[in-house]
Amino acid sequence: MILKRLLSALLIIFTFLLNAQIEEQQLDKLIEETLTTFEVPGISVGIFKDGDIVYSKGHGVRSLTNRKDMNDETLVGVASNSKGFTCFALAMMVDAGKLNWDDKVRQHIPEFQLHDAWVTEEFTVRDLVIHRSGLGLGAGDLMFFPEGSDFTVNDIIANVKYLEPESSFRSEFKYNNNMYIIAGEVLKRVSGLTWEDFIETKIMKPVGMTSSKASYNRVTDKSNIIDAHTMADGKLIQIPHDWSETANPAGGIMSNVPDMLRWSEFLMNDAVTKDGERLLSKKQFHELWQLQTPLSVSSNDSYDSNFKGYGLGWFVADVKGGHKQVYHTGGLLGTVTQFTMIPDLDLGIVVLTNQMNGSAFNTITNTIKDSYLGYENRNWLEKYGKRNADYITYNDSIKTAVFSKVEKAKTLKSLPKPEHIVGTYTDDWFGDVNISYDTKKGYLIKSKRSSRLFGELLPLNATTFVAKWNDRSYDADVYVKFTFNEKGEAISATMDYIAPITDFSFDFGDLELKKTN
C-alpha cells in the first residue's frame, strides 16, 4: 500500500514536471535578452499546451525603418515550414485517389528528367519530398534564390537534368528545394488548383488560419508585416523581402503566431479541425510523421535522442525518454523561423524572427522545451551567444584575410589581361554570366537570368578572382577560378564559397561555366 502511494506521488510529481510551464516573466526576459545578444529587431513567440494557448507575444520591432512594435499578429515568412503544408496537400490527394506516394514522377510530369536515365524512371513523388535525390545540398537553388530571376517552374523542371548528383540515388540526406517546387507542380496537375489556391482553400481556411497567405504577393494588407534584416559587413541593415513566387511550395507561406499555433493544435488533434472535420485519413496522417530518410545522431545529443530523420515534410526525432518530436525550421534572406511539436505532451512552440540568425530561435525553443521536458536551466542563451560570436569572428577573419590578399594583388604583374578574361560564360542550368572590364571600375560580373546577382570581380592571383556582390546583405562572395588554354585565354570557370557562413542556397559551387563568347 505504501509503495502504491509512493508511486502515485512520484507520478504526480513527474506529471507536474512535464507540464510545468516556464514563467511568463522569465520567458519575456529571455526573449528580450535574445534580441540584444543576436541583434534581432523583432521576435514573436507562441506556446500551445494541453488545448490552450499559454503564451503568444511579440517583442522588439517589426522593422528598423518604421520602428513599429512586433506583436503576435505580425506576419512573417515561415519559409521551409511551408514544406509540411505541401506534403499535407499531397497526402490529401492520396486520400482522394488521385495520387500515390510511390507514383513515378513521370506519371504526372512526363517531361521530368534527371541526370541519370534510370533514376529519372524510378524517381517517385515520395522521393521529391524526403531529400534523398542524390543531388547536393541546395542544388539548383540559384534558379530562384535570390529573388529577381526569370526562371519559371517549367524552367526548373527542364533544367534539373543538368544537375550532377553528389551521391547515389536514395543513399544520403541532402536538403533540396527544387524537388519541392516540382512536388508543387505535381499537386497542381492532379488537383487542378495552383499550389497557392489549394493551400489556402483546402487547408488554411478549414483549419482557421485566417491571417495566413500562401505567398507574400497574396498579402494585400501589409500594415502588420515584418521587414527582413541581416548583418552586412558587420552592420545590421534592413533588406527587401526576398523569395521567388516560383519557389512557394518550398517556402512561400506568410503566417503569424496565432495561426501557426492553430496549425499545431490541428495537427496534434490528428488532423481534425475544431469543427470536427477530418482533413486527412488517419493512415495518411500517420505516414507524414514516419521516418523516411534517416539522419545520424550525435553521441552527445542535447536531448538524448536515439533516432532522427526526415519524414514527409517534417524532421522527426525522439527527445528525452522517447517523446516524439516533429519539427522544422525555415530561412529566407533576413528571416528565420522554427516550429516544434511534441504531440504526446500536446506541446507546440512557434518562434518567428526578422533577422537571419538561427541561434536566436534555438535559444528560445530549447529553453521552452526544456521547461516541459524537466531539464534544469541549461542557459542556452549563453551557449548559443558564445558560439554565435565565435562563428562570426571566424568568418570575418576569413573574409578579412581574402580581401587583404585582393588588395595586395593590385601590384601583381602576373595577372591575366582583360581580353583573356572578359566574355560570356554559360552554365547548362543557370545560363549566361557576363564578365566585362571598365577602365575605371575594373572587372564586373553579372548574371543574365538572376538580375540582382552582379558585382565586382577582383583579381586575387594569376588564376583566381573574387566576386564581390553589390548587395552586401547576401554575404555570399565567392572565388572565381579560371581555367586557361595554351594561349593564356580563359576557357571555363568554377566558383567556391569564401566563407562557410554563406547560405547553401547560393549554390555557386554547382556551376560549370564554359566560355561561349
Once rounded to an integer, what is the mean pLDDT over residues 134-150?
97
267 burial type by CB count under 10 A (0-12 exposed, 13-18 middle, 19+ buried): buried
Q: Model pTM? A: 0.94
pLDDT at res. 12: 37
CA distance 281 to 286: 8
Average pLDDT for 381-385? 97
Q: Please, what are the domains in the chain?
A: 22-391 (3.40.710.10), 412-515 (2.40.128.50)
The predicted structure's pLDDT at residue 1:
45
pLDDT at 18 over 50: no
| The pLDDT of residue 95 is above 70 | yes
pLDDT band of residue 21 (cuts 50, 70, 90) is confident
pLDDT reading at 11 higher than 60:
no
Residue 282: pLDDT band (50, 70, 90) is very high
Q: What is the pLDDT of residue 321?
A: 84
CA distance 48 to 347: 6
How far is CA 354 from each of CA 28, 62, 360, rounded to the nearest angstrom? 17, 7, 10
Q: How confident is the model over 184-196, as pLDDT tens digits?
A: 999 999 999 999 9
Task: Name, in order, each residue with C-beta under 8 angstroms of 398's C-beta and a sequence gap of 6 or more.
Answer: 498, 499, 500
Min mean pLDDT across 232-241, 281-290, 350-359 is at 232-241
Residue 126, H or E segment = helix 125-129
Residue 14 has pLDDT above 60, yes or no: no
Looking at residue 20, its pLDDT comes to 56
Is residue 425 a contact partner of residue 514, using CB atoms and an 8 Å limit? yes
Angle, CA 190 vertex, CA 429 and CA 206 arms, to 5°: 110
The string of DSSP codes covering 378-429 is: --HHHHHHHHHHHHHHHHHHHHHHHHHHHHHHTT-S-PPPHHHH-EEEEETT
Per-residue pLDDT at 390 exceeds 70: yes
Residue 213 has pLDDT above 80, yes or no: yes
H/E stretch holding 196: helix 195-198
Proportion of the chain above pLDDT 90, given as a percent: 94
The conformation of residue 475, written as its DSSP 8-state character, comes to -
DSSP state of 43: E
Predicted confidence at residue 170, as pLDDT, reads 97
212/258 Cα distance (integer angstroms): 10
Q: Give the pLDDT mean for 135-147.
A: 97
Q: What's the pLDDT score for residue 7?
A: 42
pLDDT over 70 (residue 439): yes
- Between the alpha carbon of residue 196 and those of residues 82, 83, 178, 185, the distances in Å are 11, 13, 17, 11
pLDDT digits (tens, 9 = 90+) for 295-341: 999 999 999 999 999 999 999 999 998 999 999 999 999 999 999 99
Least confident of 19-28, 77-86, 283-292, 477-486: 19-28
